[in-house]
Chains A and B, each alone.
Chain A
Amino acid sequence: MKKERLYWILQLTGWSLYGLGSVLLYSFVQGQIPSGLIEGEIFQVSFYIISTHLLRVLIKRGKWISLPLGTLILRIALSIVILSISNYVFLLGVSFWLDTLNRQDFMAINAIISIIAPLSMYFLWSLTYMTLHYFQWYKKSLEYQAAFNEIELNYLKSQLNPHFIFNALNSIRALVGEDPDKCKEAITQLSNILRNSLILDKKRLISFSDEMRTVNDYLALETIRFEERLKTKFRFHPDSSQYNVPPMMIQTLVENAIKHGISNLTAGGVIDINTAVVDRSLIIQIKNSGKYKNGAKIKKTGTGHGLVNTKKRLELIYGDAASFKICNIENNTVLTEIKIPETF
């Protein structure tokens, strides 16, 4: 119980220091140690320790922390007023017992001072207690948020579409008889993709070139499937390879472009991938033949997760520094664009 020990250390040393300070201050002002001062302070410090501990028990038992702020403040204010009054009554009792009680102690002005002084001490105690508590809670919630983001990120990581895997295997099977060399190549490409999708579980970012190798293998396999219906074009900025990208992110977008673009076109179409470097950010553009239907299609076929996930992933990894957009541009072409900042 680290928390419990910290509390007791703070509680005991805090109040002891307070007692010591009062004695020293009093002696300094008076030039001597008045009789009964030390005993009085010992009683006072003990009372503070016990009473504030009682307050803590009350706060914990009653789960005051979870109360609305207004109610919490009201309760604490009320408690410290009651504690201050009982402190005064207790000190009167002690004085009576030590036989140092005199008439001055009952004067209204003295009574008020004797109540206000501990009130401010109780106030300081509550303030410290609550501040420490909130600080701890804040830290915990930050830790929780970080863990939560990690989990979400894992969940959002694009997975290979099973539809693609089985279609690819089916084409490969047909290739066995038709073109054994091409078939062998296809098996290597598919195993590269599978390997990368397994490795990606462990990595947050990979180099652009590594990602493009996967995309190339992927497109090669889809070309076997779609044959002359799929044409590809690449144009990369020479600095692209210095950038890192989330693994399988470009692959997912290219897969989307094929699934919703090319595969729906009887005559097929073109996938055009190009990159540019602007203001120390890598801009990746994927253009495909087809039309982007926002929302309408998403509900019907249960797709669209790919795009939403990509957006969320970028946000979780880069915050505002990355961006994502998809829109229709001229000649029945859909443009998907992501901007990725430099990472070190």
Chain B
Amino acid sequence: MRAIIIDDERLARKELNSLLEDYKEIEIIGEAVNAEDAEEKILKLNPDLIFLDIQMPGKTGFELLEGLDSVPKVIFTTAYDEYALKAFDYNALDYLLKPIQKDRLEDCMKKLLNEDEQAVSEEAGGEAKKLGANDQVFVKDGDRCWFVTLSNIRLFESDGNYIKVYFDNFKPMIHKSLNALDERLDDRTFFRASRKHIINLGWVETIEPWFNGGLMVQLKGGDKIEVSRRQAARFKDMMSL
């Protein structure tokens, strides 16, 4: 597993580096001293995992994640940050408190490597740049944060300069344009239903003909989305054998 350590303090990076020496599976391919540096290195090196400090000069760790289209696996490292950790009450992601305990790191690594084995067997290859169903995105809305696997997202809805992301019982907003997002998503999973909506084809429950040659699609969970006439033709093409 190729990893990058992101922390503004040299000694903190050094300490984590030396702790990770025991784990041959983890290969540290780079270090970054702030969010900007990290963004560059993540794009260039495409790591599987990042160790991320939350408080850094310039952008915080959260802001870094918000700016990434697709996030690698993330392990937060923080000294003491009630505020930041509270955001993740509902998430199954991992964080390490500095100074890092060996046992805690051991647990964290075990969990990570287990998940990794499963993920590898599922991965289908695919185009490098497109986001597949197994990729995860980082979503932050106010005080709450989520790592969401794309297959769990049933709908993207544009709302001004923002996109509402529908998953589970939540619909937080991300600052992005629907067109930009559409380009990054895999066509086989996500379909641009209209100017305002992108739907996850895996979540489609029923399809009915609608006015003007359009279609009305109902998603699992009850959301109803109208497919415009222009897109309806493409939709039929895609869905038929």
Which residues of A are interface residues toward B (Cβ below 8 A)? 162-163, 165-167, 169-171, 173-175, 177-178, 224-227, 263-266, 268, 301-302
Which residues B178-236 have CB closer than 8 A to chain A?
none
Question: What are the residues of chain B within 8 A of A167 when measuring CB–CB?
Answer: 9, 12, 79-80, 98
- Whether the pair A264, B57 counts as a contact (CB closer than 8 A) is yes
- Whether the pair B14, A263 counts as a contact (CB closer than 8 A) is no
User: Closest A-chain residue to B83, C-beta based?
Assistant: A302
Min CB–CB distance B6 → chain A (angstroms): 13
Question: What are the residues of chain B within 8 A of A224 when measuring CB–CB?
Answer: 11
A165, A166, A174: the one within 8 Å of B15 (CB)? A174
- Whether the pair B15, A173 counts as a contact (CB closer than 8 A) is yes
**24 sample A-B contacts, Cβ–Cβ < 8 Å, listed by A number:** A162-B79, A162-B80, A163-B55, A163-B79, A163-B80, A165-B80, A166-B80, A167-B12, A167-B98, A170-B9, A170-B79, A171-B11, A173-B15, A173-B99, A178-B14, A224-B11, A225-B9, A227-B10, A227-B11, A263-B8, A265-B57, A266-B58, A268-B57, A302-B83
Question: What are the residues of chain A within 8 A of B81 when measuring CB–CB?
Answer: 163
Question: What are the residues of chain A within 8 A of B12 when measuring CB–CB?
Answer: 167, 170-171, 174
User: Closest A-chain residue to B77, C-beta based?
Assistant: A170
- Whether the pair B57, A170 counts as a contact (CB closer than 8 A) is no
Question: What are the residues of chain B within 8 A of A177 when measuring CB–CB?
Answer: 18
Grouping DSSP codes into helix (H, G, I), strand (E, B) and loop, the A interface class, with mixed when no group exceeds half, is helix
Interface size class of B (residues with CB under 8 A): 20 to 34
Give the CA-CA distance A178 to B12 in the complex, in Å: 12
- Whether the pair B79, A174 counts as a contact (CB closer than 8 A) is no
> Is B34 in contact with chain A by the CB < 8 A criterion?
yes
User: Closest A-chain residue to B13, C-beta based?
Assistant: A174
Give the CA-CA distance A227 to B14 in the complex, in Å: 13
> Is B97 in contact with chain A by the CB < 8 A criterion?
yes
Chain B 85-129 interface 0/1 with A at a Cβ cutoff of 8 Å (1 = within): 000000000000111100000000000000000000000000000
Question: What are the residues of chain B within 8 A of A171 when measuring CB–CB?
Answer: 9, 11-12
Question: What are the residues of chain B within 8 A of A166 when measuring CB–CB?
Answer: 79-80, 97-99
Give the CA-CA distance A265 to B8 in the complex, in Å: 10
Min CB–CB distance A259 → chain B (angstroms): 9
User: Closest B-chain residue to A224, C-beta based?
Assistant: B11
Min CB–CB distance B80 → chain A (angstroms): 4
Question: What are the residues of chain B within 8 A of A173 when measuring CB–CB?
Answer: 15, 99
User: Closest B-chain residue to A263, C-beta based?
Assistant: B57
Question: What are the residues of chain A within 8 A of B55 when measuring CB–CB?
Answer: 163, 263
Min CB–CB distance B15 → chain A (angstroms): 4
Min CB–CB distance A69 → chain B (angstroms): 49
